[in-house]
Amino acid sequence: MKILIFLFLSVSNILYSRLFTNTSIFPVAAYSPGAYDTFWQTDLCIFNPNSFQIEIDANFYCEKGKFNKVILVEAENVKCIQNVIHSLYNYEGMGLLTLETSQYFFDSWIRIYNTKEDGGTYGQGIQNQFFEVQTSISYLFGITKNSRFRTNIGLASFPYGATFDFELYDKDGLLIKKYNNIQVREKSVLQFPMDVEIENAFLRIIPKDKNIAYYAYMSLIDNITGDAVYTPAIGEFPEN
């Protein structure tokens, strides 16, 4: 993976902007019904900062396998595709989306939102992710399931499949439940709703395989409006 870094200088420090890359991975993209009468769809936007047109391989991995399309983005242009999973791949469901060029840099993001007319439709923006080989534990916190809110937990593994254990703790650090041998297929995403009534809890995610690349996230959803907030997992803190 090639990464181009732009630096901005200030008086007291150096600020790093977002990164242009020739590969983008989105751990989840969807055109799918959800709970509480919601329906979720995904918009994709790609920015080409180059002075020439670029060709991007857009691969969508789902239960039915791999779908491939080519997207052309004109020089110094932003190209947005509304409802990309349905309009580009004619698929209903969810999966993992990758974008790649042979050498040229670009940036991209997606927005997953509820199409319910009388609910929240702004949605949750997701930036492109970098999947690094790792075996470290990661955490999600703020997990809530009650009459007003629900939480979906997601886990993507790329490019290999992997097995995980989960440990759910309440906000005071008391172990509530263990989930053992959760399997994620290669180049895919597994998402499931939190099944325990709880507020502001945290989840410890323990990979059981060596040299894998994975990405975990949660989506906290308002049961009344259908608004959702996307939060990525944080890696285990380094030892002193």
Kindly report, residue by residue over 6-18, the tens digit of the pLDDT: 444 443 444 445 6
Cα separation, 24 vs 1, in Å, equals 9
Cα separation, 143 vs 194, in Å, equals 8
Q: Mean pLDDT throughout 204-221? A: 89
Instruction: Indicate the pLDDT class of residue 42, thresholds 50, 70 and 90.
Output: very high
Q: What is the CA radius of gyration of the chain?
A: 19
Cα separation, 127 vs 131, in Å, equals 13
Query: How high is the pLDDT of residue 152?
Result: 96
**166 or 102, higher pLDDT:** 166
Determine what percent of the chain falls in helix, strand and coil, rounding each to the nearest 5: 0, 60, 35
Average pLDDT, the chain: 86
Residue 123, pLDDT > 80, answer: no
Residue 236, pLDDT > 60, answer: yes
Cα separation, 146 vs 223, in Å, equals 9
CA-based nearest residue to 190, from 208, 216, 165: 216
In sequence order, which residues have a C-beta less than 8 Å from that of residue 184 and are 6 or more positions away? 155, 156, 157, 161, 162, 163, 164, 190, 214
Cα separation, 50 vs 7, in Å, equals 18
Residue 159: cis peptide before it, omega within 30 degrees of 0:
yes
Residue 66, pLDDT > 60, answer: yes
Q: Could you give the 3-state DSSP secondary structure of residue 89?
A: helix
| Whether 137 contacts 35, CB under 8 Å | no
pTM, two decimal places: 0.82
Cα separation, 212 vs 172, in Å, equals 31
Instruction: Indicate the pLDDT class of residue 116, thresholds 50, 70 and 90.
Output: confident
- CA contacts within 13 A on the Cβ side of 187: 12
